[in-house]
Structure 1
Amino acid sequence: MQDGTVERMPRQDDAIRNLTMVVYILQIVNLFGVPGAIVGVIINYVKRDEARDTLWDSHFSWQIRTFWWALLGAAISYPLIILFGLGFLTGALVWCWYVYRIVRGFLAFNDGKPLPR
């Protein structure tokens, strides 16, 4: 460039990093009743091969596990609401766990650290 700055070409790792952030945002949006986590997990599965052997691979796995375990928790909690009212408690616990997973994942993302497998 003429002004002495060097134009940096985007790398594949940058694109995966951005998608990782988008999925965390979709999971947060999901907390407010918008089904963003479904779109997020689809992104995770479609782009998973591109994330392999990068720092963001552990985040993809974390996000996928968060989605499926939260879905299972919700699937168990909703019938319990109808049957015993106990589902309100289990649903609240699942919700708190889901928030924890999003916060922990996003903090690790922000620090550029991998997550446990």
Structure 2
Amino acid sequence: MADDRSNLEGDRVRLGTQPPPVEERRRPPQPSQGFDANRPTIVSILYLASFVTGITGLIGIVLAHVWQGENDEEWMASHYSYLIRTFWYAFLAGIVATLLSIVFIGLLMFPIIAIWFGVRSVMSLMKAQRREPMPDPQTLLF
């Protein structure tokens, strides 16, 4: 009987059905080496695509608000806060720039707003790819 059990365990090892050692089961999952299409990444890409399409930023803000309530993982919460604030502050700054365009000061604001919006989107994209939280999601800086 003991001979049969050792033979069965030998078959498992040979067939690769042996469960992984306890140390491997306890390790947290490692970030993938390729592109990770997680939710904050999708919102960031939609924001960046709005430079070309003009409309995907609206889709991104809707998704960010919807997904903010779900919070699948801890690090995502800071990204949603950061991305939502990025959109709404850029939107408000765009309105102010439009109003100030009457006196030509607003025309100088549009490129600054676009750069600020783009840099913040890329910052979130890079951190999301590494599955790291945003260090200070409440800041208006980068």
**TM-score between both structures, scaled by the size of structure 1:** 0.78
**Structure 1 residue ranges, 4+ long, deviating more than 2 angstroms after superposition:** none
Match of 2:107 in 1: 88
Partners of 2:118 and 2:63 lie apart in 1 by: 20
For 1:31-70, what aligned pairs fall within 5 Å after superposition? 31-51=51-71, 54-70=74-90
Letter in 2 for 1:26: L
Counterpart selection for 1:101 from 120, 129, 142: 120
Once the two structures are superposed, residues 57-115 of structure 1 have per-residue CA deviations (whole angstroms, 9 ceiling, x without a partner) of 1111111000000001100111222x111111111111111111011111111222110
Call closer, same or farther: CA 1:20–1:88 in 2, change over 3 Å.
Answer: same
Which runs of 5 or more structure 2 residues have no equivalent in the other structure?
1-14, 18-36, 138-142
Q: Does 1:113 align with 2:132?
A: yes
RMSD over aligned Cα atoms: 2.2
Aligned-partner Cα distance in 1 for 2:80–2:38: 12
Q: Which has the larger radius of gyration?
A: 2
TM-score normalised over the length of structure 2: 0.65
Contact preservation (8 Å) 2:48, 2:121: yes
1:18 aligns with 2:25: no
Gaps of 5+ in 1: 6-16
- Identity value in percent: 25
Letter in 1 for 2:114: W
Count of residue pairs the alignment pairs up: 104
